[in-house]
Amino acid sequence: MNQYRGCYAQTAPKFAYFPFRYWTAGSDYNPSHFKRVFSPRVDIFEDAENIFFNFDLPGMVKEDVKVTIDEKRILSVQGTKKGAVDAEKYKDIRNERLFGEFTRAFELPDIVNTDNISAKFDNGVLTLTLPKTEKAKQGKKIVEIS
């Protein structure tokens, strides 16, 4: 019988159920505190012209979110997801939804033109459009083999 059945965060060793979960971006497992924390999920995809980031931020408004790019080309999305119930007025019986502050950070490749990034927030989804540089848009090069 598996001694860790159903409870990987409280009693199991760090990698008992999900060997790489600790290292996964967007993980809701925080081994230093053994509690779940809010971390929005993100989809990243591209076409020939752009790279797109879609962040799921349900129940949030654009004023709760901040997007920055630093001098080391680190894209950061920060914000606070507020709880739906006043914690001082009510006592929790069961709370499965996650709230709190979050930060997601991504190192941008050199093919991204950081001067023309655009952001759109619609229905709880933050969409970032990162245009590629002209050099990246040229496509594949064929290398002659001698």
CATH of the domain at 129: 2.60.40.790
Position 63 in a domain:
yes
Euclidean distance between CA atoms 138 and 48, whole angstroms: 9
- Between strands 74-81 and 100-107, the pairing is antiparallel
Percent of the chain having pLDDT more than 70? 71
Position 31 in a domain:
no
Position 105 in a domain:
yes
Euclidean distance between CA atoms 119 and 130, whole angstroms: 9
Q: What is the largest CA-CA distance in the chain?
A: 76
Q: What's the domain range around 114?
A: 38-135
List, for residues 45-96, the tens digit of each pLDDT value: 999 899 999 999 998 999 999 999 999 999 999 999 887 777 678 777 777 7
Number of H helices, E strands in the chain: 1, 9
pTM: 0.67
Q: Say yes or no to pLDDT of 31 above 90.
A: no
Euclidean distance between CA atoms 80 and 66, whole angstroms: 10
Euclidean distance between CA atoms 73 and 105, whole angstroms: 10
Position 143 in a domain:
no
Q: Number of folded domains in the chain?
A: 1
Q: Say yes or no to pLDDT of 112 above 60.
A: yes
Position 88 in a domain:
yes
Residue 7: pLDDT band by 50, 70, 90 thresholds?
very low
Tokens of 137: 């848009």
Position 65 in a domain:
yes
